[in-house]
Structures are given as C-alpha cells and as structure tokens.
Homo-oligomer: A and B are copies of this chain.
Amino acid sequence: MPKEFTMTRRVQFAETDLAGIMHFANYFRVMEEVEHAYFRSLGLSVAMKLEGVEIGWPRVSTQCQYFSPIKFEEELQCHLRVTEMGNASLTHEVEFTGPDQRKVAAGKTTMVCVKRDQTGFTSLRIPDLIRQKIEG
C-alpha cells in the first residue's frame, strides 16, 4: 500500500447540467467506477461471491472537493490510491485531473466489507483473498 490505479473517463452529455459543467453528484458515480475498475484490475469484483458468501461494500462516508469545473467531452484522468485497510473497512482517495493537467477535484471514500443476505448486511473481516490482492 498505497495501491494505485489510473483510468481515463470522458464527461458525457447527460452528466452535465444547465451550468454547462459536469454535475457535482456525478463525481461520486465516477469515483465508484474507478474503484470498480481497480477491483477488476486485481481480478476481483465488488459484487463477488466467496465460498458461498455474497460480498458487498456499502459506503460509510464519502466526500469530494471541487477545484475547477469540467465540461462535456473533456477527459477526466482519475487516479485512485488505497490509503487505509482496516479489519473490515477500506479507504481510498481519487484525484481528478483535467485535459490540461489542471486539478479538477479530489474525493475520498470509506467503505466496509459486508456479507449480503436476505436479512440485510453483516459486517465482515475483509477476506484474505481480497486483502492479499490489495496489499499486492
């Protein structure tokens, strides 16, 4: 750690708002897309089954700071770093950079590993398979 991952993502028309820029809530969707692409890059999925248990990763907290707007069809570079892995929780940060290397935004998410079943979610120690992949 920190484990890193980078992805490029174009701003889509439906993600803009009447101010002509990407709507602030859509950064959270992109942040999640980066996280899931990162999991896939490790051969994992955020919605995987391990030994018959359906794993899930609900959010505990998430935040974003905005430095500069980004427009339709511009490309966001999204750089993820895992900054903390606890017993059941995982924290990562994502830096968003614009086409001219300008700082666009920075996000941070803490999520918790759970077992999902009919009754809901139960907190779960991050399984070793996942832990080892993230620790690299």
Contacts and interface: CB of A to CB of B under 8 A. Distances in A.
A41 to B, nearest CB: 13
A130 B66 CA distance: 23
Nearest to A63: B63
Nearest to A57: B19
Given A13-B46, A63-B63, A64-B63, A116 B28 contact: no
Contact of A13 (B26, B36, B121): B36
Task: Please give the count of copies of this chain that the complex contains.
Answer: 4
Given A14-B23, A18-B71, A63-B64, 5 more contacts: A14-B29, A14-B32, A18-B21, A60-B66, A61-B65
Name which of A17, A18, A40 has the most chain B CB atoms within 10 A of its CB.
A18
26 contacts: A12-B32, A12-B33, A13-B32, A13-B46, A14-B23, A14-B32, A14-B33, A16-B18, A17-B17, A17-B18, A18-B18, A18-B47, A18-B71, A19-B58, A21-B58, A24-B32, A24-B58, A24-B59, A25-B25, A25-B32, A36-B73, A45-B73, A58-B69, A61-B63, A61-B66, A69-B121
